[in-house]
Amino acid sequence: MNLKPLANNVLVKPFKKEDMTKSGIVLPDTSDKERPEKGEVIAIGAGRLLDNGQLAPMTVKVGDKVMFKKYSPDEIKIDDEDYLVLSESDIIAIIE
């Protein structure tokens, strides 16, 4: 199934959390219950409609790795895969 977000919405595939830290500390099962804050952009909408009727271009593109506000996305499941839908304004950084 292909999804095309509308307006300035973005479809993001969240990054999976690590079960162990770099220093070797094993994280408990409850750690993955936290909402992700990073992911990869899978699809983007056309852009935000301005007052003059023109579209403001999106600042993110498919394939960008982004950081976003923790509680802003809506969670959806497609073919047993978890995805997040959020507004472009909820993205706080592109990870380079």
Mean pLDDT in runs of 10 for the chain (96 residues)?
Answer: 90 80 67 71 95 94 95 90 94 95
User: How many domains does one find in the chain?
Assistant: 1
| pTM for this prediction | 0.80
DSSP class of 72: -
CATH of the domain at 52: 2.30.33.40
Cα Rg, the chain, nearest whole Å: 15
pLDDT score of 31: 47
* Any domain includes 56: yes
Residue 47: phi and psi, rounded to 5, are: 130, 170
Q: What confidence score (pLDDT) does residue 18 get? A: 61
Q: CB neighbours (10 Å) of residue 3?
A: 13
Structure confidence at residue 33 (pLDDT): 53
Whether residue 81 lies inside any domain: the answer is yes
Residue 91 lies in a domain: yes
Q: Which of 79, 59, 68, 62 is nearest to 14 (CA)?
A: 68
Could you list the residue range(s) of the whole structural domain that residue 85 is in?
Answer: 36-96
Residue 30 belongs to some domain of the structure: no
